[in-house]
Homo-oligomer: A and B are copies of this chain.
Amino acid sequence: MPAGFAAGGLGAGIKRSGKPDLAIVRATNGPAAVAAVFTPNAFAAAPVRLSRAHLAATDPAGGGGHGWAEAIVSTSGCANAATGPAGDADQRRVADLLAAALGVPVERTLLLSTGIIGTRLPLDRVEAGIAALAPGLSTTDEALESAARALMTTDSQVKMATASIALPDPDGLAVRTVTVTGIAKGVGMIHPRMATMLAIVLTDAAVEPSVLHRMLRSATARTWDQLSVDGDTSTNDTVFVLASGASGSAGVAAGSGPARLLGSAIEAVARELARQQAADGEGATTLLTCQVTGAVDDPTARAVARAVVSSSLVKAAVHGRDPNWGRIAGAAGNAQLADASVLEAGGLDPDVAAARAGVPAAVDPDRIRIAIAGTLVFDGAVDGPVDFDRSAVRAAMDAPEVIVRLDLGSGDGTGEAFGCDLSETYVIENSEYTT
């Protein structure tokens, strides 16, 4: 747990199962700098809209993407999406309850929610839960894990990741250890478009919201935007990064060496959480990672990697441990570059990003090489299909992670994407009851 935060989670009865469903994270060092990325879904949920409004109130220049906050509350089991004006009123009530319980201004609260779309929050239970949880928030790692557990819906595993870096103190005479720790949930309705499901990343670095926001968007372009479980983008996707400044390190200026270090740590945490989310995808039996090299540039590599892990046919083949490289080639051949906003976040100039958004990725069948679980199966430069030991590759695919590598043979661009296999269990889980 980074310095300057306390957390906790409990079961408030929002979920019928009685499992943990209410989490609170509090900044204990005064308002924390916040950067956020939200779902682009037109049906953005009430907590998404209210969080945007609160951030905009604390930092008008941030347009709802960054600002200051002192507390986050997450309710799990009910998405509070597509609930109309009544749902918005419910969410404002949750914010008021949190603000009153912690003694903070309501515009410095942030809201997360996940679960069934179209149902109302049980406000009486949320009220009782906040009253019970708020006094007992703790700075321990266990408390953060308890909060992470209360984010979960169909997740089978708690998702946490951490990284540490050394940054100078304000005098420049000593270094301080800065910690970046994230918690997240998956695991359905996940697709790469700006953000994916819920994640909270905490750091005790000292950094301005706008600088933090650039770091988050850059990290997201390389991690959460490259994660797909099932091709659907949720109404509630939210990632918050909060920086408390409590490490005692100097303020991190944009473009500085410390900024690069902190940005890398945030990206490392985001990447690890994205991998955990993919591995725990609904019905998944294996993590599917696609690593692309030799692309004309990084956005092209990321587009190809994303297309491969998003393909239903590739995912089904991986489920059957079938080294079906034809489907991988077919998926790579359909890759299209990301949205302009994602391309811009990934480092392209706005004009270039606008011109290249959604265009087909440059893939030359006569240059591409494909390897599955370490074995070359296709080499476009030498007639295509490669003779390989199918049963050995099948055996190598029977692992917790299946890595597909593509060398496009056309440049220095690299990228990766994270997904999972498609199983009968996914279909059963998602057809048998309303989620």
Binding site for B on A (CB under 8 A): 40-44, 79, 81-87, 116-119, 188-189, 193, 230-235, 310-313, 316-317, 319-320, 322, 324-327, 329-334, 339, 357-358, 360-361, 363-366, 378, 380, 382-385, 421-424, 426-428, 430-435
Contact = CB atoms under 8 A, between A and B. Distances in A.
Nearest to A82: B329
20 contacts: A40-B360, A43-B363, A82-B384, A84-B366, A84-B382, A85-B383, A117-B327, A118-B384, A119-B385, A188-B313, A189-B327, A232-B312, A233-B334, A234-B330, A312-B430, A317-B431, A319-B431, A320-B430, A320-B432, A324-B434
Q: Is the interface of A mostly helix, strand, loop or mixed?
A: loop
Contact of A360 (B42, B81, B331): B42
Contacts of A79: 326
Given A43-B329, A326-B118, A427-B427, A334 B82 contact: no
B43 A430 contact: no
B424 A41 contact: no
A329 B118 contact: yes
A384 B84 contact: yes
A361 B424 CA distance: 32
B322 A431 contact: yes
A87 B384 contact: yes
A424 B116 CA distance: 23
Contact of A82 (B322, B364, B378, B434): B378
Contact of A83 (B316, B384, B428): B384
A327 B332 CA distance: 28
